Structures are given as C-alpha cells and as structure tokens.
Amino acid sequence: MLGKLDWSAIPFDQPIPLIAGAVVLVAILAVLTWVVVKGHLPYLWSEWITSVDHKRIGVMYILLASVMLLRGGSDAIMMRIQQAVAYQSQGYLPPEHYNQIFSAHGTIMIFFVAMPFVIGLMNLIVPLQLGVRDVAFPTLNSVGFWLTATGALLVNLSLVVGEFARTGWLAFPPLSELSYSPGVGVDYYAWSLQISGVGTLVAGINLVTTVLKLRTKGMNYLRMPMFCWTTLASNLLIVAAFPILTATLAMLLLDRYLGFHFFTNEAGGNVMMFMNLIWAWGHPEVYILVLPAFGIFSEVVSTFSGKALFGYRSMVLATMAICVISFMVWLHHFFTMGAGPDVNAIFGIASMIIAIPTGVKIYNWLFTMYGGRIRFATPMLWSVGFMVTFIVGGLTGVLLAVPPADFMLHNSMFLVAHFHNVIIGGVLFGAFAGFEYWFPKAFGFRLDERWGKLAFWFTFLGFFITFVPLYIAGMLGMTRRMQHYDVAAWRPWMIVAAIGMAVLTIGVICQIVQIVVSIRNREALRDRTGDPWDGRSLEWATSSPPPVFNFAFNPDVRGEDAYWDMKARAQQQSLERDRPEYQDIEMPRNSPTGFVCAFFATIMGFALIWHIWWMVILGGLGAWATFVVFAWRDHDEYVIPAEEVAAIDRVNLEERRDLVSMAGTV
C-alpha cells in the first residue's frame, strides 16, 4: 500500500536532523497558523499563490532562494565545524550523516538558491527593462515557480522522512546505483531535480521568448540593456542544457528502478558516460548562473558611475561568445579520467579561451568606472567586491584548466575553494547586488545603507578568511569531502576556515537585520519617484512598486539607455505634456494552475521515491487534468479600465515632474 515507506524512514535515532526537522515544522506551522488566524490566507491565495504577475513570481522565487540559502548555509556551518574538530577523531557528525550534508549543501545551493535567485531577478526585471506588460507565458511562469518549490520541498522532506543522497551533489555512479546506494536518498535527489528541472526549463523557454518576441516599440536588439542580453544568453543555455540533465537523471533512474544498464559495472554499462553527460549539462550550468550576475553588475556599475556602459557591443559579443563556448569545455571536469592527451589538450585550450570574453567584461566594467562619478552605494560595493573576488577565482580556474595542473589538484580542497570563489564571488555577490539594487523597485522603499554595507564587509572578509585556507589545504594535499583526517598540517587551516565561516554568518545576519530595519523605517526610505538611483533603463521609468500593468503606455525607445535618454529629453520638454488618451488594458487573470500542478507533482514525486505506484498514477492524472481544466477556461484576461490606469499613472507622473524640475537645477 505504501511501497517502501514505514516508520523506520523517520530517523528517531539521529537527534540532529530530527530536531532540525521538528524546529522547521513548528516554524512552518506557526507561520501558517498566524496567516490563517490573522485572516491573510485569502490575500495570500489571490494575490500571491495564484498570481501570474511576473513581478510577484520573481519575488516568490527570491524568497524561496533566501530561505534555502539559510538551509544550505547551516549545512555549510556544520561541515566547517566538523572539519575543524575532526582531526584524528570522528568529530560530531557520523560519516553517513556528514555525507548527506555535503550532498544536500551542493544540491540546495546550486538548484534551490542560485538558480531561483537569478531566475527570480530576471523575472522581476526583464519585462520592465524591455518596456512590456508581462512575460510571454504568464501562467506557465507560475507553473515553473511552483515546480521549483516542489523540488525544494522534496529535498527538505528527506531530512525527516527517509534520507538524502550520500553521493555528492552530482550523484556519480556506480556509487549512486542501486547496489551501492540501496536507500531512497538518491531517489530523493533525482526526483526533486527532475521536477524542479521541468520548472527551470519552463522558466527558460518563457524568458527566451519574452526577450526575443516581446520588446517594446523601438527596443532593437542593440538597444536592450545588458541584463536583457545576459538573460537571453543564460536562458538559451537553460533551454539547451537542462534537457541533458533530464536525460541523464532519467537514465540513472532507469538503472535504479528498472534494472537498466546505462551506468552499471555489469552487462556493458559505462560509468564514464555519466560523467560525460552530466558535465555536458554541468558546465553550461555554471554560465547559466553567472551570466545574469554579469548583467546585474553591468547595470549597477553603469548606474553608479553615472556613465553609459563602456564597450556595450563588445559586452554583447562576449556574452554570446560565452553562451556558445560554454558548450565546448565540459571535459575539463574530468581531465583525470583518461580520455588521453588529444582530447584533454583541446578541452583545456577551449577552457582557457572562454576566459577571454570574461576578461573583456572585467575591463569593460573597469573602463565604465574610469572617469565616472562613482557612488559607493551597497549595490556598487557588491560589484566592486565581485571584481576583486572573481578575478582570483577566474585565475585559479585558468590554472585548473591546464590538464597537468589539474591532475595534481583534481578533487582537492583547491578545487572546492575555486568553485566557491566563482560561485560566491560571482553569482551570490551578483544576486545580492541585484537584490539591493532592485529592492526599491519591487517594494517601493530602499534598503538601509548602513546595515547593507556592514553585511557586505563581513561577507567579503568572511569569504576570504574561509576560502583562502581551503586553497592552501588543497595545495597541502587535502582532498574534498573528508569526514575526518589525520594530517596535522591541515588542522590550523581548517580552524581558520571555521572562523571565516563565523564571519560569513555575521554577514548573513547583518542582511537579515538590514531587511528588518528597512521594513521598520520604510516611510523614511520610501521611493516616491520610482527612480531612486538615477537609473538608466526602463524599469526606472515606472513607479515603485510598478502597477500590475507595468506601463500605462508601452514606452517608445529611441536609443541605448532608454530611460536616461527620456530624462535628458524630458528636461527640455518638461516631461511629456502631450500624453495621448489612456486606454483600457487587458491583463492575464490569476490562475491556481501552477499551484495545483505542483501539488500533484509533489504527490507524484513522493510516491515515486517510495514506490507507491497507485499514488504515482493519481498524481499524473491530476496534473494532466489540471492542464485540461486550464485549457478549458473561457476568460483568460481581465480589463483594467482606462480611468483606473489614468489615476494610477498620474500620481507617478506628478512625483516624477518634481524630480525632473529638481534635476534641472542641479
């Protein structure tokens, strides 16, 4: 009846996950009770859960990412403490638990922190920058978000019901095959990634179509803000790379569930093919994450230097070059597996070549700052911090791209330090910069600068204190994923890294405090004009937060830096007196399709993990029925009358006139 599921799935003998799970459960129940008692449930349901507004979905993506960042961060803290104490002892985490923690840490940080964070920012901002009212597929967008949430839910469920994979974040066979991992851990891993992978693919299709087909009048390709270009490149990579992940995990699941022989040691299966296929996805994935961050830095650096982006066209070219070359370097993740000198040499050279467009970008940002009137607001601090950090990470990356060096450093702590160097220094700093930069756009008030700067400095210093020791430990021969060790020379570095982790944690706490303080002082920090940073692109041309229809009129774009151009012209013409008549606006209706679909996906995923076949069929039928019901509805849009549009728009225009007249006097 319940497949493999019984009471032994709940780890009564392991206090750490049980207590953690109980605390989280109590917290969730408390929040739910509060929501229900306060009567917020109808509001949440109709305004957020069923929302198809790209801005709301973007915010929900970022919220999911932030919550999961805390989860993945606690895993990191536990690992750092374990390695600091586990010198010639077992530490406090037994091996099977430690292995689950590093697997969960990697999986969560990549799939449920970095991915939703950048997808959320793209969702929130790209339609605004393109000057349009919505994304290409609003309802599918909601489906994509909720499927991602399903994946996150399943990963966290494994904390209390069953176990998580002990195989590392990519579940390499043969360890991940049924004979070596008979438990449900790998199944939790694979099914949550399959489900959230569908969500990511949907988001990718949606954003590619939005950028290519929905741009406002006059928004030619070479007038798009840089963030739109990197969004396009990143989502093209999602569309092309995520199917590879889906196929590879499907093969692993077929091996595990139906006794196939893709990656087994027996009957001619080939373990190496898994490494090959998973990294054919895995390397583009790196650029899926970092390209949007590059876009964010371009926007931030240009705005806070008060200059147009230096070398816009070379930036576009570099972005698209990375988009293509990122598909030609995947073997550098397994140089040591013996493909031989010819293959290794070619992929090594390709890996070095991809550093060139990245270098072009760094120079472009530097030259944008050169001669500019730089304001070191928090987003700009993250950007400058990124440039410093990312160059170090990039250089160690080029080092690893040299096959002979890689033979020494493969799977060492040096590698761990390298990819944290680029992912934290690149993606996470970018996400934080974007968060600080666009927060006023999303919520209508700025974030507290003092706490923001504190958060930056603690994170920045904490990062180096944590990861420089890992580089050194790697040089001293320490391999990754060690539950304990007996080498005295590594010990001091592990202790320093643990101290660094504490500093990083203070940085995260500062950010939480920053949000709380800013919400309390929101009236003082209110952004009335919709343009708090003196921005250059169209998202600043509407109010903060934007009305549901984004723009009362689809803007008419005349050049690069569309909004800057408008402001410059508006100073001469005292802002668009000759407004045409306001018109009715049709917007897509909210729909519970995404939520219901994800509900069935959760049931199906859980049932698949525990081999509860009747429930699988039920979930599948439910998901299909949801789509048919959605396809059957007759009214998919509602009308916002012209008077309402006019009323909303005039308020913002008044504020903006004041701004322009003030700007004229400066």
Partner 1 sequence: MAMTATAGHAHADPHHIGVVIEHPGPASKRIVTAYGFWIFLLSDIVMFSCFFAAYAVLSGQTAGGPKGSEIFEQRNVAIETVCLLLSSFTCGMASIAADVRNRFWFYLGMTVTCVLGLIFLVIEFREFADLVARGYGPSRSAFLTAFFSLVGCHGLHVSAGVLWLLTMMAQVFAKGFRADVLRRIMCFALFWHALDIVWVGVFSVVYLLGSAA
Partner 2 sequence: MSDQSHAPTDHDLAPGEEEQHSVGTRILGYVVGLALALLLTATSFFIAGTDLVWQPSIPVALIVLAIAQMGVHLVFFLHITTGPDNTNNVLALAFGLLVVFLVVGGTVWIMAHLNANMPPMDQIMRMQ
Residue 538 in contact with residue 557, Cβ under 8 Å?
yes
Q: Interhelix angle for 341-353 vs 355-369, to 10°?
A: 10
> Which region among 263-271, 398-406, 438-446, 643-651 touches partner 1 (by CB under 8 A)?
263-271
**Which one of partner 2, partner 1, none is in contact with 338 (Cβ closer than 5 to 8 A by kind)?**
partner 2
Interacting residues with partner 1 between 174 and 203 (CB under 8 A): 201
x/- letters, 564..593, toward partner 1 (CB under 8 A): -x----------------------------
Does position 268 interact with partner 1 (CB under 8 A)? The reply is: yes
Does position 217 interact with partner 1 (CB under 8 A)? The reply is: yes
Does position 343 interact with partner 2 (CB under 8 A)? The reply is: yes
**Which one of partner 2, partner 1, none is in contact with 559 (Cβ closer than 5 to 8 A by kind)?**
partner 1
Those residues whose C-beta lies under 8 Å from the C-beta of residue 601, and which sit 6 or more positions away, are 147, 150, 195, 619, 623
Task: Provide the Cα torsion 18, 20, 24, 26; round to 10°.
Answer: 60
User: Which DSSP string corresponds to 402-428?
Assistant: SHHHHHHHTTBHHHHHHHHHHIIIIII
x/- letters, 626..645, toward partner 2 (CB under 8 A): -----------x--------
Those residues whose C-beta lies under 8 Å from the C-beta of residue 349, and which sit 6 or more positions away, are none
Task: Look up residue 462 and give its two tokens.
Answer: 């904490």
Residue 270 CB burial class (10 angstroms; 0-12, 13-18, ≥19): middle
**Which one of partner 1, partner 2, none is in contact with 313 (Cβ closer than 5 to 8 A by kind)?**
partner 1
Interacting residues with partner 2 between 280 and 309 (CB under 8 A): 280
Those residues whose C-beta lies under 8 Å from the C-beta of residue 337, and which sit 6 or more positions away, are 272, 275
Interacting residues with partner 2 between 266 and 285 (CB under 8 A): 266-270, 272-273, 276-277, 280
Task: Look up residue 151 and give its two tokens.
Answer: 């994946």
Residue 123 CB, shortest distance to partner 2, in Å, is: 16
Residue 656 in contact with residue 544, Cβ under 8 Å?
no
User: Pick from 328, 362, 468, 499: which binds partner 2 (CB under 8 A)?
Assistant: 328
Q: What is d(CA 334, CA 345) in angstroms, rounded to the nearest whole number?
A: 12
Those residues whose C-beta lies under 8 Å from the C-beta of residue 663, and which sit 6 or more positions away, are 567, 571
Does position 639 interact with partner 1 (CB under 8 A)? The reply is: no
User: Pick from 246, 265, 336, 521: which binds partner 2 (CB under 8 A)?
Assistant: 265
Residue 557 CB, shortest distance to partner 2, in Å, is: 14
Task: Look up residue 412 and give its two tokens.
Answer: 């060492």
The C-alpha angle with vertex 58 and arms to 53 and 61, in degrees rounded to 5, equals: 130
User: Pick from 45, 48, 327, 599: which binds partner 2 (CB under 8 A)?
Assistant: 327
**Which one of partner 1, partner 2, none is in contact with 586 (Cβ closer than 5 to 8 A by kind)?**
partner 2
**Which one of partner 1, partner 2, none is in contact with 427 (Cβ closer than 5 to 8 A by kind)?**
none
Interacting residues with partner 1 between 311 and 350 (CB under 8 A): 313
Interacting residues with partner 2 between 234 and 253 (CB under 8 A): 236, 240-241, 244
User: Pick from 342, 523, 581, 634: which binds partner 2 (CB under 8 A)?
Assistant: 342
Distance between the two ends of the chain, CA-based, in angstroms?
75
Amino acid residing at 450: R
Task: Look up residue 610 and give its two tokens.
Answer: 């525990």
Does position 559 interact with partner 1 (CB under 8 A)? The reply is: yes
Torsional sign, CA 558, 560, 566, 569 = negative
For residues 223 and 446, which CB has a smaller minimum distance to partner 1 in the complex?
A: 223
Residue 272 CB, shortest distance to partner 2, in Å, is: 5
The C-alpha angle with vertex 327 and arms to 210 and 417, in degrees rounded to 5, equals: 100
SS3 588: strand
Half-sphere exposure of 385 (CA within 13 A, CB side): 28
User: Pick from 68, 136, 380, 648: which binds partner 1 (CB under 8 A)?
Assistant: 136
Does position 262 interact with partner 1 (CB under 8 A)? The reply is: yes
Q: What is d(CA 300, CA 358) in angstroms, rounded to the nearest whole number?
A: 17
User: Pick from 558, 629, 641, 661: which binds partner 1 (CB under 8 A)?
Assistant: 558
Interacting residues with partner 2 between 530 and 569 (CB under 8 A): 554
Does position 583 interact with partner 2 (CB under 8 A)? The reply is: yes
User: Pick from 145, 262, 304, 330: which binds partner 2 (CB under 8 A)?
Assistant: 330
For residues 259 and 371, which CB has a smaller minimum distance to partner 1 in the complex?
A: 259
For residues 214 and 254, which CB has a smaller minimum distance to partner 2 in the complex?
A: 214
Give bridge partners of residue 479 from the DSSP assignment.
412
Residue 526 phi, psi dihedral angles, 5° rounding:
-55, 135
For residues 207 and 422, which CB has a smaller minimum distance to partner 1 in the complex?
A: 207
**Which one of partner 2, partner 1, none is in contact with 219 (Cβ closer than 5 to 8 A by kind)?**
partner 1
Q: What is d(CA 648, CA 413) in angstroms, rounded to the nearest whole number?
A: 55
Task: Look up residue 327 and give its two tokens.
Answer: 């598909």
CA of 457: how far to CAs of 3, 451, 452, 462, 547, in Å?
A: 51, 10, 9, 8, 35
Interacting residues with partner 1 between 465 and 504 (CB under 8 A): none
Residue 594 in contact with residue 644, Cβ under 8 Å?
no
List the one residue out of 53, 47, 69 whose CA is nearest residue 118.
69
User: Pick from 20, 45, 67, 261: which binds partner 1 (CB under 8 A)?
Assistant: 261
For residues 554 and 602, which CB has a smaller minimum distance to partner 1 in the complex?
A: 554
Residues in contact with partner 2 by the rule CB under 8 A: 132-134, 212-214, 236, 240-241, 244, 265-270, 272-273, 276-277, 280, 324, 327-328, 330-331, 337-340, 342-343, 554, 583-588, 637
Residues in contact with partner 1 by the rule CB under 8 A: 132, 136-137, 201, 204-206, 208-209, 212-223, 239-244, 246-248, 250-251, 254, 258-262, 264, 266-270, 273, 277, 280, 313, 554, 557-560, 565, 624, 628, 631-632, 634, 636
